[in-house]
Structure 1
């Protein structure tokens, strides 16, 4: 019974310090996870409360539960349907993500597996496009959209979301494609495989975790974008985040209804992350261990 404690005491001092440091880091990781989880849990719980219970200070955790906030979100009593904004968000996010992947994978292939000349300058150029604050380009984009008749058009958002996410996707995909074994590419080249065949049958299956991680991040950024959607859309192409801001009225903030709307709007991202969590973790950790 005393063999294990004695063995632990016989550990050298550096090993004991590493074990103690790992325990502290694990505890810190749990605390950070709880720190991020508690606001989300509070939002979901508040969405099932009545407005009177949601407005109490401090919040009433044990209050009775109701679906009144969700009924109002889906138009009961108001006649305002959330489905057009949700469909607009889904359309813009999915199409822009597909276009980003179609452009980022060949670009990353050219910058990693078949590097072009001065590839580091190309990567810096992609990164430099993210240095300009979005609000600084809002007025020129608005004027261009106004002159071309693209205001309140879902295709304008698709183009903007593609341009916003493409630099990040190229950087991510380059690091993922750098891990593709060179021997596989050489064997494909000896077998006479062209670029199209190499990308689809050799590179894509090996880099699928990285592709999934890049797609999920691009989808999240597109789904949550508010600034451009708020200014450049109206009644036709308004997205879910824009629809969510409509719950802040001159009458005040109806907290239970806002929490219900935020919960519903967050579900597609949460479901996508849960469905692809294994590939997301594998993709984000790709290349971390050589």
Structure 2
């Protein structure tokens, strides 16, 4: 008869000794994530509740109060909110369209026909983002003034495009690098022209990445304040100028300033919330093969 060797049962104390470590490993990351999320969301929450307070209540740090719409009424009575919002829509849409029109061919060339200078060009484009905007404010202001682009939607679209184009090229280049070359080579062998490769083969496969790029460009253009404040006054002023107009020498009126800020950020917050799945999908495009 074969001898059977019994394996001693695992001691329950060993399980208990490892249980606290497993518990900490599960709980601590989730707790940190919640704390970071609360810290990031708290300014938006405080701005929202302050918008529904009176000016006297706005200086009291409490979340229990009787809400009122007086600040919103004063904001709409003082400023033409919809004119500012329409300018923001025009600028954001124009910047996104122009950036994609320029970035897609540039990223296509760099991704599928790289040269020895491709990486240097990409790094140079990225280095332009490190230059402080105030360093070129005076020459751009004079150029825009002499060319009639000052306080125009076209002028802001050009400036925003120059600012955001490196980001659009880098993101599109990253997405295009994940697409197999064999697919484009097969289309080339079938007689497809360059524009047909881009439109019918490349674009459908890169839709998630390009969609996230477009969403990011909209958010960046919507939130840009430095150039809009310095290059526009009334005709082409977007919502960032609308918010800045509530900072006056008489002081800051926190309730009205919060109401104006909430009206300005609400559209982009709603768009970001509704498209968050598409944005995350695009930003992680090609991360897992």
State the TM-score, normalizing by the size of structure 2: 0.89
- What is the total number of aligned residue pairs between the two structures? 279
User: Which structure's CA Rg is the greater one?
Assistant: 2
Q: Which residue of 2 aligns with 1:147?
A: 146
Q: Note if contact 1:110-1:116 (Cα within 8 Å) is conserved in structure 2.
A: no
Greater mean deviation of Cα atoms: 207-216 or 18-27:
18-27
Whole-Å Cα distance in 1 between the matches of residues 59 and 233 of structure 2?
31
Alignment partner of 1:9 is 2:15: yes
Whole-Å Cα distance in 2 between the matches of residues 251 and 51 of structure 1?
14
Could you say what secondary structure the match of 2:130 adopts?
coil
- Counterparts of 1:228-247 in structure 2 under 5 Å? 228-247=227-246
Could you tell me which of 4, 24, 27 is aligned with 1:23?
27
Q: Note if contact 2:242-2:260 (Cα within 8 Å) is conserved in structure 1.
A: no
- RMSD of aligned residue pairs (Cα, Å): 2.3
Q: Which residue of 2 aligns with 1:64?
A: 66
Alignment partner of 1:52 is 2:56: yes
Q: Which runs of 5+ in 1 are unaligned?
A: none
CA 18–116 in structure 1, closer or farther in 2 if over 3 Å, else same? farther
Whole-Å Cα distance in 2 between the matches of residues 127 and 251 of structure 1?
41
Q: Which residue of 2 aligns with 1:109?
A: 108
Greater mean deviation of Cα atoms: 262-271 or 157-166:
262-271
CA 21–93 in structure 1, closer or farther in 2 if over 3 Å, else same? same
Return the offset for 1:266.
0.5
State the TM-score, normalizing by the size of structure 1: 0.89
Alignment partner of 1:34 is 2:38: yes
Whole-Å Cα distance in 2 between the matches of residues 99 and 52 of structure 1?
46
Q: Which residue of 2 aligns with 1:177?
A: 176
Return the offset for 1:19.
7.0
Whole-Å Cα distance in 2 between the matches of residues 282 and 166 of structure 1?
21
CA 230–105 in structure 1, closer or farther in 2 if over 3 Å, else same? same
Return the offset for 1:287.
2.9
Q: Which runs of 5+ in 2 are unaligned?
A: 1-10
Return the offset for 1:89.
1.4
Whole-Å Cα distance in 2 between the matches of residues 125 and 251 of structure 1?
45
Whole-Å Cα distance in 2 between the matches of residues 71 and 226 of structure 1?
25
Return the offset for 1:20.
4.0
Whole-Å Cα distance in 1 between the matches of residues 217 and 236 of structure 2?
20
Q: Note if contact 1:212-1:276 (Cα within 8 Å) is conserved in structure 2.
A: no
Could you tell me which of 57, 73, 76 is aligned with 1:74?
76
CA 20–66 in structure 1, closer or farther in 2 if over 3 Å, else same? same
- Counterparts of 1:84-99 in structure 2 under 5 Å? 84-99=83-98
Q: Note if contact 2:48-2:262 (Cα within 8 Å) is conserved in structure 1.
A: yes
